[in-house]
Amino acid sequence: MTVAGFTKNISSSGVLFTTGREPDLGGPIEYVIVLNRESPQAVSLRCMGKVLRADRVGTSPDEGVSFQIAATLERYEFVRGQGAFH
């Protein structure tokens, strides 16, 4: 299942992002980060890791429910050109 999210912080060991779907805590996760989105040569970074934490945020009727998720970055690969995720 593909769910959109917004990256808040990223490092060599993990990522913090928000999304509208609650993940399986402790379970595997695959996420794609698009670098240089506005550039003609955008590059996607396909990452695999594990969900460490999921905090519920934005519970007002206007915002809806979303989750702030912390996940590890265990493996990654660059995806370029036609095969890139957008």
CA distance 57 to 18: 9
> Is pLDDT of 74 > 50?
yes
Contact 78, 45 (CB under 8 A): yes
Is 69 inside a domain boundary? yes
Q: Is 86 a domain residue?
A: no
* Structure-block tokens of residue 6: 């917004």
Whether 22 is covered by a domain: the verdict is: yes
Total domains in the fold of the chain: 1
Question: What's the whole-model pTM score?
Answer: 0.78
Tell me the sheet residues that pair with 72: 14
Q: Which residue has the higher pLDDT, 53 or 41?
A: 53
| 39 falls within a domain | yes
| Residues 42, 35: Cα–Cα separation, whole Å | 6
Residue 12: give the domain boundaries.
5-81
